[in-house]
């Protein structure tokens, strides 16, 4: 099976976590797009969605799924999203698509974060994938210096502006032995809006598409 088939299989499996009659949180990226396609098949069973990016909002609305502002809902039973890397502890690197900040906000609100990936995303230690960091544009140079002090090699994602009007620095070479501490350290750097390290709030469940079927981690 190809990677796209594995993504689709994980996305279909995530439908079991959608709560009938409620709003579902929807992530960003190619695997989340597979989930949106699957969700369209049961759209009459849900109250609507919240979206982690403008791209996701457009795709949901194109299927006729009502998209709510996160500020207008009290709680969110489940959030379904992909990841760039995930460990057995369900720590993740996210933000390959640049949507990390809104993703982190929705992850903080939801009762259950279900991560959907193909098996290529599985790692023992995070860090092969460059860590995306959303930065206020005027703080770019200062934040880059701080990231170099932490041992990283930040590169500007050229020509990319986030949905929040900020830039992304992709940080290569970080040794992420302790993701929780690193996430905290990054959160203390002035000018960083959010890092793509999801360790303090890991996924609750990971549905991983493999050649042997969809494997469930956690939950």
Q: Where on the chain is the footprint of ligand R5P (CB under 6 A)? A: 27-32, 81-84, 94-100, 103
Least distance CB 94 / ligand R5P (angstroms): 3
Closest residue to bound ligand R5P by CB = 29
DSSP string, the chain: --HHHHHHHHHHHGGGGPPTTSEEEE--SHHHHHHHHHHHTTGGGS-EEEESSHHHHHHHHHTT--B--GGG-S-EEEEEE--SEE-TT--EE--TTS-HHHHHHHHHHEEEEEEEEEGGGB-SSS-SSPEEEEE-GGGHHHHHHHHHHTT-EEEE-TT---TTS-EEEEEES---S-HHHHHHHHHTSTTEEEESEE-SS--SEEEEEETTEEEEEE-
Contact of 97 with 28, CB cutoff 8 Å? yes
Nearer to ligand R5P, 95 or 127 (CB): 95
Q: Residue 201's closest CA among 113, 100, 81, 87? A: 113
Binding-site residue positions: 28-31, 81-84, 94-97, 121
Least distance CB 37 / ligand R5P (angstroms): 13
Least distance CB 130 / ligand R5P (angstroms): 11
Nearer to ligand R5P, 47 or 112 (CB): 112
Nearer to ligand R5P, 28 or 87 (CB): 28
**Active-site residue flag, 158:** no
Nearer to ligand R5P, 23 or 83 (CB): 83
- Pick the catalytic residue: 54, 61, 103, 134? 103
Binding-site residue positions for substrate: 28-31, 81-84, 94-97, 121
The distance from CA 2 to its chain's CA centroid, rounded to whole angstroms, is 22
Could you give the residue numbers annotated as active site?
103
């Amino acid at each position: 099976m190809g990677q796209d088939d594995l993504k689709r299989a994980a996305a279909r499996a995530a439908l079991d976590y959608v709560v009938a009659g409620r709003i579902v949180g929807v992530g960003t990226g190619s695997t989340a797009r597979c989930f949106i396609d699957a969700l369209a098949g049961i759209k009459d069973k849900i109250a609507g969605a919240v979206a982690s990016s403008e791209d996701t909002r457009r795709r949901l609305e194109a299927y006729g799924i009502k998209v709510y502002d996160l500020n207008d809902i009290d709680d969110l039973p489940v959030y379904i999203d992909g990841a760039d890397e995930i460990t057995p502890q369900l720590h993740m690197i996210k933000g390959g698509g640049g949507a990390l900040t809104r993703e982190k906000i929705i992850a903080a609100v939801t009762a259950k974060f279900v991560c959907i990936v193909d098996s290529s995303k599985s790692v023992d230690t995070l860090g092969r994938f460059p860590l995306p960091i959303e930065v206020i544009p005027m703080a770019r140079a200062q934040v880059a210096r701080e990231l170099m002090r932490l041992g990283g090699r930040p590169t500007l994602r050229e020509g990319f502006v986030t949905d929040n009007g900020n830039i992304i620095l992709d940080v290569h070479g970080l040794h992420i032995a302790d993701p929780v501490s690193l996430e905290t350290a990054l959160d203390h750097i002035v000018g960083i809006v959010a890092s793509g390290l999801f360790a303090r709030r890991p996924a609750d469940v990971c549905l991983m598409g493999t050649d042997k079927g969809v494997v469930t981690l956690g939950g």
